[in-house]
Amino acid sequence: MSIDAHPPVPVVLKDTSERPSAVFQAVALLVTALYAVPMLYVVLVSLTPDGEWVGAWPSHFEFSNFSNAFLSANFLRFFLNSAIVAIACTVLQVLLSCAAGYALAMLPIRGRNLMMLLLVALLVVPPEVSIVPLFVMVSHLPLVGGNDMLGNGGQGLLNTLPGIMVPHLVSALAIFLMRQFYISLPEELGDAARVDGAGEFRIFLEIYTPLVKPAVAVVGVFAFQSAWNDFIWPLVTTSSNDLRTLQLGLTVFFQENATQWNLLMAAVLAISVPILMMFLLIQRYFQEGALSGAIK
């Protein structure tokens, strides 16, 4: 059959329903407004000068609210704590889940089925179930924080940054995701490199891992988000003001200065910007790769 057997589709046939319907467009705008209006309201309040009625249009934009919020409540310290914890957890989680995910996908390890079963089972376990015993373990860790060899006497890793990191060092979901990505790559790549005499670790790091960069980005952002946004664990393991994370510091600030909405909203904005930016940057990967691979 020749290509010319059918004439090209005339322009008249072009589907008019491809243009947005006015009703759908209006509903979409309404839904968006339910999100955009509160966000703009937060921005407006964060720029309202002290002593002016919150919610009214401010007489001028008070940008010093941002610096004042940070100066007034040790927020710089909280920011540093959160950043150190979140970055360290991200690096560790990415390393551990790449290594384990690759081995589970590509290498003939013993007990693989058992490990996969364990990962899937752990996906169902609510993290809250482990919080109390983990607290006991962290506070009784031997030979740190004034503890003796049996883990008594001191406070272990309570009130330390490594202590805050404990629940976010590894994630079953991250390992599972990385394994799904590695397993979709052809085995021949590694075999060819082996014939050329490449070592196993080089094959892992230099051949396969560069091919799963989008997955690394997604796992990394998830890890960062879980550590940055965590609340209940830092709440129970830190009592010293110097070791609070941003989420905790923000809550305490709210409880102590509930009426200072302008400073509170300035802090809320400043805290959220890094994580929102990160999500915007990986949004493309997130939509195209991670989810279509994960949800099957």
**Residue 203, C-beta contacts closer than 8 angstroms, at least 6 positions apart:** 190, 193, 194
Candidates 204, 223, 260, 263: give the one binding another protein (CB under 8 A). Answer: 204
Quote the least distance from Cβ 1 to another protein, whole Å: 20
Say which DSSP state 9 is in: P
∠ Cα 214 219 220 (to 5°): 95
Q: 292 - beta bridge partners?
A: none
CB 81 to another protein: min, Å: 15
**Phi-psi map region of 288: left, alpha, beta (phi>0 left; psi -120 to 50 alpha):** alpha
**Contacts of another protein in 149-168 (CB under 8 A):** 166-167
Rule CB under 8 A: is residue 96 a binding residue for another protein?
yes
Q: Does 83 bind another protein (CB under 8 A)?
A: no
4 versus 210: smaller Cβ distance to another protein: 210
Q: Does 15 contact another protein by CB under 8 A?
A: yes
Q: How far is the CB of 45 from another protein (least distance, A)?
A: 7
Residues 109 and 97: their CA atoms lie apart, in Å, by: 16
CB atoms under 10 Å from CB of 173, counted, come to 15
Q: Interacting stretch for another protein, rule CB under 8 A, among 1-9, 67-75, 207-215, 287-295? A: 287-295
Q: Which of 58, 193, 200, 211 binds another protein (CB under 8 A)?
A: 200
**By CB under 8 A, residue 281 contacts another protein:** no
- If binding is defined by CB under 8 A, does position 57 make contact with another protein? no
| Interface with another protein, residue 169, by CB under 8 A | yes
Pick the closest to residue 65 from 83, 80, 41, 45 (CA basis).
45
**Residue 228: burial class (beta carbons within 10 Å; 0-12, 13-18, 19+):** buried
Strand partners, 54: 56
Going from the C-alpha of 55 to that of each of 46, 68, 96, 232, 275, the distances in angstroms are 10, 20, 47, 31, 26
Residues 238-277 touching another protein, rule: CB under 8 A, are: 247, 250-251, 254, 261, 264-265, 268, 271-272, 275-276
Among residues 80, 91, 232, 241, which is the contact residue for another protein, using CB under 8 A? 232
Strand partners of residue 56 = 54
Q: Which stretch binds another protein (CB under 8 A): 6-14, 60-68, 116-124, 212-220?
A: 116-124
Of 99, 144, 185, 193, the residue at the interface with another protein (CB under 8 A) is 99
Is 74 a residue that touches another protein (CB under 8 A)?
Answer: no
